[in-house]
Amino acid sequence: MSIIPSGDGRIIFLDGGMGTQLQAKGLQPGEVPELWNLSHPADVRAVHEAYFAAGADIVYANTFGANSAKYHGNAPLADVIAAGIALAREAASGTNGRRFVALDVGPTGRLLKPAGDFEFDAAYDAFAEQVQIGAKAGADLVVIETMGDAYELKAAVLAAKENATLPILATVALGEDGKLLTGASVECVAALLEGLRVDALGFNCGFGPDRMLPFVKRLAAATSLPIAVKPNAGLPQVKDGRTVFTVGPEEFARDVAALADAGASIVGGCCGTTPAHIAAVQESLGCVLKAHSTVPPQPPRTVVTSGSRAVEIPFDDTIIIGERINPTGKKKLKAALAEGDVAYVLREAVAQSEAGAHILDVNVGVPGLDEPAVLDATVQAVQSVTDLPLQIDTSDPRALERTLRHYNGKALVNSVNGKEESMTAVLPLVAKYGGAVVALTLDETGIPPAAEGRVAIARKILARGAEYGLKPSDFVVDVLCLAVSADAQSANVILEAMRKVRTELGCRTCLGVSNISFGLPARPLLNAAFYTMALANGLSAGIVNPLAADMMTAFRAFRALTAKDRTCSNWIAAFTDWSPAMPVSSRLAASGTPSSAKPEAGNESALSASIRHGLKADAAAAAKTALEGGSKPLDVINKSIVPALETVGKGFESGRVFLPQLLMAAEAAGAAFDVVRSAMPAHDGAAVKGPIVIATVKGDIHDIGKNICRALLENYGFKVIDLGRDVPPERIVETARREKARLVGLSALMTTTVCFMEETVKLLHEKLPDCKVTVGGAVLTADYAAKIGADHYSKDAMGLVRYAELLFQ
């Protein structure tokens, strides 16, 4: 489909810069350009007329910043937009041939969460209002341009789709590194916009056409949609504090022609370009047929993205989907989800990412939990700490829709199955929000025992998907892993079904590998062996535990042995330090520096010394050695760990030890604690103290201080429920009540957010009179803390630990 009815077969021409043209006519810095639609209509119309005269098929109405989040003019938004569309329409009517008017939708000027504080839904609302007004005013299409954040781009496209039936052209502003401000790559943007089914996509602003060339080539390789380019007249240069553009019309036209050769079929200009630039482009490309058809079509790929990274689920290679954020059989995670302890989930996310996962599964299926709300919140939180795409794992369609909508990027959906109910609920959502979807080969009759039956269900799901416009490459088939202990043929059937899915349907596959060993001893060994077999039979994505060494070894070995890891560089990087006789404990110890672990005073234990020096691995090893040498767990804690922490804490308070060293010592103590705790029967003397609820207050997004407090408290043996940042008072109170917390710690960095701290303190005291509140943060003082009613002021993290120790004695 073309973005305009007459566009088939030839290049479509867009206009050039509007802002820089208005500046030349006297628009001042700080002025609202869209107000000129009302105050200087002749000037605005003249710009449009000049672009039509230069050969533009489409002009962008002067509505770039006309969204309620950005616009702060003194005339009603609706009037400004309607006048903008009308002026462009008037200019169009004065020309020969069919000319088109686009509603121009630019960014809100606000940064969305988690990078900023603006809600996705608020951005959507602002765009939706703009689109409704623009469509009513008679725009022929919607252009979304100069987007620097993939998440905001998604909000704008959804708003355009849901509030009008006009064609959509979406272009982003790349930096010189080929990425958006918030990090999305060209491939990431392409996958997102294709998934959202825009009509054309491309780049505008940023730099000149010469620098745009390599990125247009990459885009042409990543999309089958028409490509639009609207570069600046060169790189902006600052001259006497003013931005100027120096590339003239001829040079511009020559470089734009190269972009058309590379696949662009919709061309125009952005900042600094003039009617002369567009006339020159029209001159050189006016008779050229759409270049895009000369670029060979790309084989369909299966790509999912986060806000910044695209990951391909390959047909001829394999990737890892981390399975650990799934409460089934995981007590600690279940508890963390029930308590709203985000930090625990985030640590799982980061650990799997560091271990080498490519996609993370997120499942919050705990009975009694409000799954739509919790899944949505958890996915957003996980996205704030990892750039890996996520697999949204739920059987609740409401949870799926809410989460897919707010997901930053193009997600992998887990899952749809062959039941009518599932297909009807899930497939339209995948078609609407974009995404790839896992197809489970089961239906109303259960899981077919033979491979043929499973392939038949996959075929049925694909056919239903086609009705919604989904392609086979939008599916990843999971033929279902059943325990070999229950059915001796299970593994054989799985492998056969996977081969058939590849050859007969041309689909990628995924599999929850570790189910195979259910009910048998030595599960990790069996899992790794079966994983290798599945890989050899073409598994595209194993859903596995990336922290399990045997699985990662199987993955790396398979890739090295099948020429996927071509120079074996990944294998070498993973195993350079490997030696056959090295047990795990001594390997841990070797990663520290043994010399500094020597006890300095004759009677100080190696453990105490390791803690004082902040040597985490040494401390864990020393704790293990002490336990193996017969020391009682409680003695290790009370005679080594606690005194060492005490020494460091006093050193900090007297200024001899600095904060980083205090924290390193605390981390080492925490590692030793973990070793000792795992050797203790539950509810032994040194039970965990707490819980303490901590949060950065509403309105504040600075959480470094709070995070340091959490780390220190945990390493001093407290249980901490960390609610994150920008937390409303009600949620803090509710959590403290539910968890029966005796202490709440609040952090705020700015004078503008201390008011929310005061509000939170008041509410806590009102609702939970027995709960103490301690506050801290850059702008606070003891006096101020008292003034806002806090029970205690924590000068620093150590101060908080001291207060907590006193309270929980």
Interacting residues with other proteins between 380 and 439 (CB under 8 A)? 384-387
d(CA 536, CA 499): 10
24 makes contact with other proteins (CB under 8 A): no
Place of tokens 């790839």: 436
Distance CA 433, CA 83 (A): 33
* Amino acid present at 123: A
Minimum distance from residue 722 beta carbon to other proteins (Å): 10
Report 154-213 residues binding other proteins (CB under 8 A): 175, 177, 179, 181-183
CA pair distance 189, 305, nearest whole angstrom: 9
Angle between helices 77-93 and 41-54 (to 10 degrees): 40
Residue 735 DSSP SS3: helix
Neighbours of 283 (CB within 10 A): 14
Site string for other proteins, 568-587 (x = CB under 8 A): --------------------
Specify the residue, 50 or 757, whose C-beta has the smaller distance to other proteins: 757
Q: For 138-193, give the secondary structure using H, E and C.
A: CCCEEEEEEECCHHHHHHHHHHHHHHCCCCEEEEECCCCCCCCCCCCCHHHHHHHH
Sole binder of other proteins in the list 690, 699, 729, 776 (CB under 8 A) = 699
Amino acid occupying residue 359: I
723 forms part of the interface with other proteins (CB under 8 A) = no
Asked if 351 touches other proteins (CB under 8 A), the answer is: yes
Pick 70 or 767: Cβ nearer other proteins: 70
Separation between Cα atoms, residue 182 and residue 175, nearest integer Å = 10
CB 29, min distance to other proteins, A: 5
Q: How far is the CB of 90 from other proteins (least distance, A)?
A: 26
From the list 261-269, 370-378, 489-497, 591-599, the region that binds other proteins by CB under 8 A is 591-599
Residues in the interface with other proteins (CB under 8 A) total 72
Single out the segment in contact with other proteins by CB under 8 A; choices: 281-289, 613-621, 633-641, 799-807. 613-621
Residue ranges in 490-601 assigned as alpha helix (H): 490-500, 523-536, 549-561, 569-575, 584-590
Q: C-beta of 804: minimal distance to other proteins in Å?
A: 15
Taking CB under 8 A as the criterion, which residues in 291-320 touch other proteins? 308
Q: How far is the CB of 236 from other proteins (least distance, A)?
A: 8
Q: Which of residues 452-511 bind other proteins (CB under 8 A)?
A: none
Residue 740 C-beta: closest distance to other proteins, Å: 26
Interacting positions 219-238 with other proteins (CB under 8 A): 238
> What is the torsional sign of CA 534, 540, 544, 545?
positive
Comparison of 258 and 701: residue with beta carbon closer to other proteins: 701
Least Cα distance to 705 among 754, 649, 803, 777 occurs for: 777
Q: How far is the C-alpha of 201 from the C-alpha of 199, rounded, in Å? A: 7
Taking Cα atoms as reference points, which of 182, 247, 243, 242 lies closest to residue 211? 247
Region from 153-161, 162-170, 346-354, 400-408 binding other proteins, contact rule CB under 8 A: 346-354
* Interface of this chain with other proteins, residues 770 to 799, rule: CB under 8 A: 797
Least distance (Å) between residue 620 CB and other proteins: 14
E strand spans, 326-406: 359-362, 390-393
**Stretch 70-129 residues interacting with other proteins (CB under 8 A):** 70, 107, 109-111, 114-118
Q: How far is the CB of 117 from other proteins (least distance, A)?
A: 4
Q: How is residue 520 written in tokens? A: 């048998």
- Closer residue to other proteins, CB minimum distance, 615 or 732: 615
Single out the residue of 750, 778, 782, 786 in contact with other proteins (rule: CB under 8 A). 750
Among the listed residues 569, 593, 678, 781, the single contact to other proteins using CB under 8 A: 593
Alpha-carbon torsion, ordered 228, 234, 236, 242, to 10 deg: -120
Looking at the Cβ atoms of 764 and 798, the one nearer to other proteins is 798
